[in-house]
A and B are shown apart, each in its own frame.
Chain A
Amino acid sequence: MEEEFVLKIRIKFKKQGQMRFIGHLDIMRFFQKAIRRAGININYSEGFSPHQKMSFASPLGVGLISSGEYFDIESDTAVSSEESLRLLNGAMVEGMEVISFKKLPDDAKNCMASIAAADYILHITGDSNPITKEITDTFLSRDNVVITKKTKKSEKEIDIRPFIYELSSNENSVFMKVASGSVNNIKPEIVIDAICSLYNLEAPKGIYERVEMYANIGTEDNINLVSLESLGENIE
Chain B
Amino acid sequence: MRKLALDDDILLTIEKPARYIGNEYNMVKKDPKEVDIRFCMAFPDVYEIGMSHLGIQILYNMFNEWDDVYCERVYSPWTDLDAVMREKNIRLFSLETQDPIKDFDFLGITLQYEMCYTNVLQMLDLSGIPMFAKDRSEDDPIVIGGGPCTYNPEPVADFFDMFYIGEGETQYRRLLDLYKENKKNGGSRKDFLKLAASIPCIYVPSFYDIEYNADGTVQSITPNEECAPAKIKKDIVLDMSSSPYPKKPLVPFIKITQDRVVLEIQRGCIRGCRFCQAGSVYRPVREKNIETLKETAREMLKNTGYEEISLSSLSSSDYSNLPELVNFLIDEFKEKHVNISLPSLRIDAFSLDVMSKVQDIKKSSLTFAPEAGSQRMRDVINKGLTVENILTGSMMAFNAGWNKVKLYFMLGLPFETKEDNEAIMDLCELIAEEYYTIPKQERNGKVNITASTSFFIPKPFTPFQWAPMCTKDQFIEKATIVKNKMNTLLNKKSIKYNWHEADLSELEGLLARGDRRLSSTILAAYNNGCIYDSWSECFKYDMWQKAIEDTNVDMDFYITRERDTDELFPWDVIDIGVTKSFLIREWNNAKEGKVTPNCKLQCSGCGAASFGGGICFENKN
Contact = CB atoms under 8 A, between A and B. Distances in A.
Interface string A19-44: 10111001001101111110000001
A26 B255 CA distance: 8
Contacts of B255: 26, 29
A18 B304 CA distance: 21
Nearest to B252: A26
Contacts of A105: none
Contact of A63 (B12, B27, B302): B12
B350 interface: no
Contact of A21 (B17, B251, B301, B303): B17
A126 interface: no
B305 A32 contact: yes
A18 B27 CA distance: 15
B95 to A, nearest CB: 11
Contacts of A221: none
B305 A94 contact: no
Interface in A157-205: none
Interface stretch (B18-26, B287-295, B561-569, B612-620): B18-26
Interface string B102-113: 000000000000
Interface in B1-37: 1-2, 4, 8, 11-12, 17-18, 21, 23-25, 27
Nearest to A37: B305
Contact of A34 (B1, B23, B305): B305
B23 A19 contact: yes
Interface string A85-108: 000000101110000000000000
B591 interface: no
A29 B305 CA distance: 10
A18 B24 contact: no
Given A19-B23, A21-B18, A62-B12, A32 B307 contact: yes
Given A37-B303, A37-B305, A44 B23 contact: no
B304 A22 contact: no
A48 interface: yes
A93 B24 contact: yes
A218 interface: no
Residue of B17, B302, B305, B337 with most partner-chain A CB within 10 A: B305
B588 to A, nearest CB: 51
Residue of B27, B251, B304, B339 with most partner-chain A CB within 10 A: B251
B172 interface: no
A50 B336 CA distance: 10
Contacts of A93: 23-25, 27
A49 interface: yes
A48 B360 contact: yes
A59 interface: no
Given A33-B251, A48-B360, A49-B339, A21 B307 contact: no
Main secondary structure of the interface of B (DSSP, over half): loop
Contacts of B306: 33, 36
B253 interface: yes
B254 interface: yes
Interface string B281-323: 0000000000000000000011111110000000000000000
A35 B339 CA distance: 17
A25 B59 CA distance: 30
Contact of A37 (B21, B24, B254, B302): B302
A33 B23 contact: no
A95 B1 contact: yes
B360 A33 contact: no
A89 B7 CA distance: 28
Nearest to B338: A36
B354 to A, nearest CB: 16
A219 B202 CA distance: 76
A19 B2 CA distance: 12
Nearest to A39: B302
Contacts of A50: 337
B305 A36 contact: yes
A18 to B, nearest CB: 5
Nearest to A33: B305
B253 A30 contact: yes
A137 B401 CA distance: 71
A91 B303 CA distance: 9
A28 B337 CA distance: 17
Contact of B1 (A30, A37, A62, A94): A94
Given A22-B253, A33-B251, A49-B339, A95 B305 contact: no
A47 B304 CA distance: 24
A49 B363 CA distance: 12
Contact of B18 (A22, A44, A94): A22
Nearest to B2: A18
Residue of A21, A30, A32, A94 with most partner-chain B CB within 10 A: A21
Nearest to A22: B253
A30 B25 CA distance: 9
B336 to A, nearest CB: 8
Contact of B305 (A19, A48, A62, A91): A91
Residue of A29, A32, A49 with most partner-chain B CB within 10 A: A29
A63 B301 CA distance: 31
Contacts of A26: 18, 253-255
Residue of B18, B303, B304 with most partner-chain A CB within 10 A: B18
B197 to A, nearest CB: 42
Contacts of B251: 33
A35 B27 CA distance: 18
Contacts of A207: 8
Interface string B327-363: 0000000000101000000000000000000001000
A38 B1 CA distance: 24
B305 A18 contact: no
B23 to A, nearest CB: 5
A48 B358 CA distance: 9
A21 B304 contact: no
Interface in B222-261: 251, 253-255
Contacts of B17: 21, 62
Given A36-B307, A37-B304, A95-B1, 20 more contacts: A18-B23, A19-B23, A21-B11, A21-B17, A22-B253, A26-B18, A30-B25, A33-B307, A34-B25, A34-B305, A35-B305, A37-B25, A37-B303, A37-B305, A48-B360, A49-B339, A62-B12, A63-B12, A93-B23, A93-B25
28 contacts: A17-B1, A18-B1, A19-B23, A21-B17, A21-B21, A22-B253, A26-B253, A26-B254, A26-B255, A30-B253, A32-B305, A33-B251, A33-B307, A34-B25, A34-B305, A36-B301, A36-B305, A36-B306, A37-B25, A37-B304, A48-B360, A49-B339, A63-B12, A91-B305, A93-B24, A94-B1, A94-B23, A95-B1
Shortest beta-carbon contacts, A-B, top 9: A33-B305, A36-B305, A37-B305, A21-B17, A26-B253, A22-B253, A17-B1, A48-B360, A63-B12
Interface of A: 17-19, 21-23, 26, 29-30, 32-37, 44, 48-50, 62-63, 91, 93-95, 207
